């Protein structure tokens, strides 16, 4: 603090509190909606304080499904989302670790060629190549499978660059020492590189888990079988249904379920999250 200005201090707190309220308000309204029953959610004005039907709605959404639906709960969609997020995060980390290791620690023909090929993927987000990518996945028979959901999203230039950056900061003496002790490349990778980049891996995991969980367009395209739906893509389907037969208390419950897991990850692992965010952007 440069100088003591009590009024300014109070003003700062007020602005911050207003900011927090503004940011949290949409989520609060959603939470409140998920705690009331159907009739209350059709009366104006809508409630701003929670009701008593939270667990009833939760049970309905997880195990029974929407009214007028095909009577299957949506609990399995949470499972699908989790599997998808984990496969994307872990897959990305593994293939990026391996390729960064090869590019930093080996001299071999076409090294730079491979490097630039990986760099290219930075410029091709799935949104701009959806149709041909969809065709490839369809031709490979990967529609409605976990592989089809995850593998096309798995190559990542940012993760490879980040690990390359991390490896470059590891002193050369490490490798010299390992070599004197007779360690081969794989041993060096496993016993020295991996432990030394542990926090980077964790930070990246947090970011990638959120990225995977929040995918919307891709699951929408590659899944036609309802048993493969993810919870985030289901939101879009339900908003359309909500216009015809309003069941806002259930729709908002699903939305809440789609939001909570990644938000918990961010809040619980805030330090890793911030580290991951700043590192992958460099």
For the stretch 185-197, what's the b/e string if a residue is b when 16 or more beta carbons lie within 10 angstroms of its beta carbon?
eeebbeebbeeeb
- Chain-centre distance for alpha carbon 1: 37
- Residue 79's Cβ-count burial label (10 Å; 0-12, 13-18, 19+) is exposed
Distance in Å, CB of 210 to other proteins, minimum: 5
Q: Which is nearer to other proteins, 60 or 259 (CB)?
A: 259
* Nearest-approach distance from CB 24 to other proteins, in angstroms: 7
Helix (H) or strand (E) holding 7: helix 6-33
d(CA 14, CA 6): 12
Q: Residue 68 or 236: which CB sits closer to other proteins?
A: 236
Q: How far is the CB of 193 from other proteins (least distance, A)?
A: 11
DSSP category for residue 230:
-
Half-sphere CA count of 168, side-chain side, radius 13 A: 9
Closer residue to other proteins (CB): 58 or 266: 266
Q: Which is nearer to other proteins, 60 or 276 (CB)?
A: 276
Which of residues 55 and 106 has its CB atom nearest to other proteins in the complex?
Answer: 106
Exposure of 43 in the CB half-sphere (CA atoms within 13 A): 7
Smallest separation (angstroms) from other proteins to the CB of 199: 15
Backbone φ, ψ for residue 265 (5° rounding): -60, -45
Q: How far is the CB of 86 from other proteins (least distance, A)?
A: 16
């Amino acid at each position: 603090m440069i100088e003591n200005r009590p009024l300014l201090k109070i003003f700062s707190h007020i602005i911050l509190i207003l900011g927090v309220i503004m940011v949290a308000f949409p989520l609060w309204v959603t939470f409140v909606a998920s705690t009331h029953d159907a009739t209350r959610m059709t009366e104006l004005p809508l409630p701003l304080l929670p009701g008593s039907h939270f667990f009833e709605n939760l049970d309905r959404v997880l195990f029974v499904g929407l009214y007028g639906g095909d009577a299957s709960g949506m609990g399995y969609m949470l499972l699908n989302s989790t599997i998808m997020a984990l496969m994307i995060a872990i897959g990305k980390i593994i293939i990026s670790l391996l390729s960064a290791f090869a590019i930093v620690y080996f001299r071999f023909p076409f090294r730079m060629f491979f490097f630039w090929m990986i760099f290219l993927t930075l410029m091709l987000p799935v949104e701009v190549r959806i149709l041909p990518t969809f065709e490839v996945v369809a031709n490979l028979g990967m529609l409605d499978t976990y592989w089809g959901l995850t593998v096309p999203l798995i190559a990542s230039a940012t993760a490879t660059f980040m690990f390359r950056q991390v490896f470059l900061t590891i002193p050369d003496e490490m490798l010299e020492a390992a070599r004197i002790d007779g360690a081969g490349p794989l041993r060096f990778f496993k016993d020295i590189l991996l432990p030394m980049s542990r926090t980077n891996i964790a930070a990246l995991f947090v970011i990638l888990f959120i990225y995977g969980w929040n995918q919307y367009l891709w699951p929408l395209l590659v899944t036609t079988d309802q048993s493969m739906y993810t919870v985030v893509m289901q939101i879009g389907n339900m908003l359309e249904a909500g216009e015809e037969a309003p069941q806002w208390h259930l729709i908002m419950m699903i939305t809440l379920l789609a939001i909570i897991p990644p938000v918990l990850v961010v809040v619980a692992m805030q330090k890793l999250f911030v580290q991951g965010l700043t590192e992958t952007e460099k």
